[in-house]
Amino acid sequence: MTDEEAGRVRNFVGYGRNPPDPKWPGGAHVAVNFVINYEEGGEVSVPDGAPASETGLTEGATAPLKGRDLGAESMFEYGSRTGFWRLHRMFTRRKLPCTVFAIAKALERNPEACAAMREAKWDVAGHGYRWEMHANMTLDYEREQIRLATESITRTIGERPAGWYSRYAPSLHTRNLLLDNGYEYDSDTYDDELPYWMTIGKRTQLIMPYSVVHNDVRFARQGMTSGDEYETYIKNAVQCVLEEDPPRMLSFGLHNRIIGHPGRALGLAWFGIDADMRKLDVRIEAPAKMEPRRPLTTSVHVAGLTPGEGARQSRLHPDAALHEFAGRPA
């Protein structure tokens, strides 16, 4: 197969110095696409017949392991059991749409998550039947994996997936196989900040570029340690394109088992909220009477909580040096 037939002719020019105005809805200057990669349960594992456990995008073992890695298995399970629901609450509470790059086998193992995606009307795109590299597949094997993934997602979600993203990189055959299966777009490229049409033989395909630069994999690979860092990083990306012409599209990839952890997820939750809105006005009233070695009761008044938030006061022993105050989601 030639590069032309595969839709893989290298292009170093793109839209050039005068990109088109995509005319986003409402006259928006930037389109932000949040993508949840739902992979947990679709990774290769010893219980599913593999010789060793998948450890990709986990927190990593402290020493090399051979064969089954129960630690890595549990990290994947955290993603579907806990991380997904934290992200689901964040997006649905804010009535924000998102795309799901879904491993079909993972969806089969969590019907409740499938129901939540359907109810939220999220765009569930194909990401493979199992979480494995399409770039290394033979033509026949890849054809079968795309068929299985398409049929499985159609059953679990209730409609055929319109889009596709392979794990990291496709093969030369992927785009033709996706067209054969009726896919409307693919995100198997990282080469632009605007969608474009690609000629593939005598057919055309809509290309929706993805990004691993603004992806939460930075926690797993590039040493990012806090939610605040991620918030600042993606805010900077948005600020940059807001100051440019024409309008752009930014894609932020998320993983249940990575950013689904509380210390990281908070940065995502704060994205788009002005820093001043985080400040709480806390006033503590001195009691009318204080007795040595007796519990101290004070009135605490809090202003600045957003709707849906409550406050909790921690009661400490009178010998404690500090009183603690914590805000929590209601």
16-to-11, 19, 249, 252 alpha-carbon distances in Å? 11, 6, 16, 24
Q: Distance between CA atoms of 286 and 303, rounded to whole angstroms?
A: 18
Q: What is the pLDDT of residue 178?
A: 98
**How do residues 196-248 score in pLDDT, each as one tens digit?**
999 998 999 999 999 999 999 989 887 888 899 999 999 999 999 999 989 99
Q: What is the pLDDT of residue 320?
A: 39
Cα 157 to the center of its chain, rounded Å: 18
In this structure, are residues 106 and 122 in contact, taking their beta carbons and an 8 Å threshold? no
Candidates 7, 39, 50; CA nearest to 170 is 7
Q: What is the pLDDT of residue 223?
A: 81
Q: What percent of the chain has pLDDT over 70?
A: 88
Q: What is the pLDDT of residue 273?
A: 53
**Which two three-digit tokens encode residue 275?**
């820093």
Q: What is the pLDDT of residue 295?
A: 75
More confident residue, 296 or 252: 252
Helix pair 84-93, 262-270: axis angle to 10 deg: 20
E strand or H helix that includes residue 93: helix 84-93
Q: Distance between CA atoms of 37 and 34, rounded to whole angstroms?
A: 10
**How do residues 180-197 score in pLDDT, each as one tens digit?**
999 999 999 999 999 999
Confidence class for position 322, pLDDT limits 50, 70, 90: very low
Per-chain mean pLDDT for the chain: 87
For the chain, the straight-line distance linking the first and the last C-alpha, in angstroms and rounded, comes to 57
- CB under 8 Å to 266, separation ≥6 — which residues? 227
Q: Is 130 exposed, middle or buried (0-12, 13-18, 19+ CB in 10 A)?
A: buried
**How do residues 106-163 score in pLDDT, each as one tens digit?**
999 999 999 999 999 999 999 999 999 999 999 999 999 999 999 999 999 999 999 9
Quickly count helices (H) and strands (E) in the chain.
10, 12
- Phi and psi at residue 125, to the nearest 5°: -100, 155
Confidence class for position 297, pLDDT limits 50, 70, 90: confident
* Amino acid in the structure at residue 63: A
Average pLDDT over residues 266-292: 70
Q: What is the pLDDT of residue 323?
A: 38
Residue 223, sorted as left (phi over 0), alpha (psi -120 to 50) or beta, turns out to be left
Q: What is the pLDDT of residue 315?
A: 46
Question: Which segments of the chain belong to CATH 3.20.20.370?
Answer: 3-275
Confidence class for position 313, pLDDT limits 50, 70, 90: very low
Confidence class for position 58, pLDDT limits 50, 70, 90: confident
Evaluate if residue 330 carries a pLDDT over 50. no
Other Cβ atoms within 10 Å of 182 Cβ, number: 10
Q: What is the DSSP string of 212-279?
A: SSSSTTHHHHS----HHHHHHHHHHHHHHHHTSSS-EEEEEEEETTTTTSHHHHHHHHHTTS-GGGG-
- For domain 3-275, the CATH architecture is Alpha-Beta Barrel (3.20)
Q: What is the pLDDT of residue 61?
A: 73
Q: What is the pLDDT of residue 64?
A: 73
61-to-57, 207, 216 alpha-carbon distances in Å? 11, 37, 19
Q: What is the pLDDT of residue 306?
A: 54
3-state secondary structure of 285: strand
More confident residue, 276 or 22: 22
